[in-house]
């Protein structure tokens, strides 16, 4: 019984409110329409449809440019290690050429092993000359002597140069 009454009331209220909605004042209906258009315009403003055909290709172009720039300027990783660097190859060329023959003495370690002996020998000769008063050397630094030795090319030449030097330093 209560439910039937409730349904009847609901129907009556519904009809009454529908009539009231239909009979709204014209200025209220107009204001509602304006509010609706304003809301729809707000949606349009958030995503302007007229710009979409332009914005999508521009976005794609910008993205492609960025990717290209990154790929071009990205620091490359270490290249696979070659067995010989260009400098190594150049050294080999110099050493194997005739012009580089004067550097071949580097392979002969005897000179370096005996350098101290040669220094000692030179000093001994100098002291001997000083004792005898016949020393005419330009200085007592071993450096010019050593540099001269290192300039020597080949063992025979080096030995000849050394003996010449020793003779030159010997008092006449």
Partner 1 sequence: MAALDTESALDAFLASVERKAFIMAQMSTRNEEDALDIVQDAMLAFVRRYTSRPQGEWKPIFYRILQNRIRDWNRKKALRNRILKWFSKGERGDGKGEGPLEELADPNPSDPVDALMSKDIATTIANAVAELPLRQQQSFLLRTWEEMDVAQTAYVMGCSEGSVKTHYSRAIKALRKELGEYWP
Shortest CA distance to 122 belongs to which of 159, 171, 169?
169
The dihedral formed by the CA atoms of 79, 84, 85 and 88, expressed in degrees to the nearest 10: 170
CA distance 19 to 12: 11
- For tokens 């315009």, the residue is 41
Cβ(105)–Cβ(111) below 8 Å: yes
Q: Please report how close the Cβ of residue 43 comes to partner 1 at its closest, in angstroms.
A: 5
Under the binding rule (CB under 8 A), the answer on residue 19 touching partner 1 is yes
Q: Please report how close the Cβ of residue 39 comes to partner 1 at its closest, in angstroms.
A: 4
Show the binding pattern over residues 24-53: x = contacts partner 1 (CB under 8 A), - = does not: x---xx-xxx-xx-xxx-xxx-x--x----
Under the binding rule (CB under 8 A), the answer on residue 5 touching partner 1 is yes
Which positions touch partner 1 (CB under 8 A)?
5-6, 8-10, 12-17, 19-22, 24, 28-29, 31-33, 35-36, 38-40, 42-44, 46, 49
């Amino acid at each position: 019984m209560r439910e039937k009454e409730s349904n009847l009331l609901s129907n009556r209220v519904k009809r009454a409110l529908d009539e009231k909605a239909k009979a709204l004042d014209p200025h209220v209906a107009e204001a509602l329409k304006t509010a609706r258009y304003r809301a729809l315009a707000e949606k349009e403003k958030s995503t302007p449809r007229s710009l979409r055909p332009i914005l999508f290709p521009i976005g794609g172009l910008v993205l492609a440019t960025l990717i290209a720039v990154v790929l071009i300027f990205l620091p490359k990783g270490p290249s696979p290690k070659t067995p010989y660097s260009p400098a190594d190859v150049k050294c080999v060329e110099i050493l194997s050429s005739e012009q580089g023959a004067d550097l071949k003495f580097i392979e002969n370690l005897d000179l370096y092993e005996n350098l101290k002996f040669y220094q000692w020998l030179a000093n001994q000769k100098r002291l001997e000359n000083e004792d005898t008063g016949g020393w005419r050397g330009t200085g007592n630094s071993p450096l010019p002597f050593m540099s001269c030795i290192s300039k020597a090319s080949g063992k025979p030449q080096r030995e000849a140069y050394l003996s010449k030097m020793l003779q030159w330093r010997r008092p006449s």
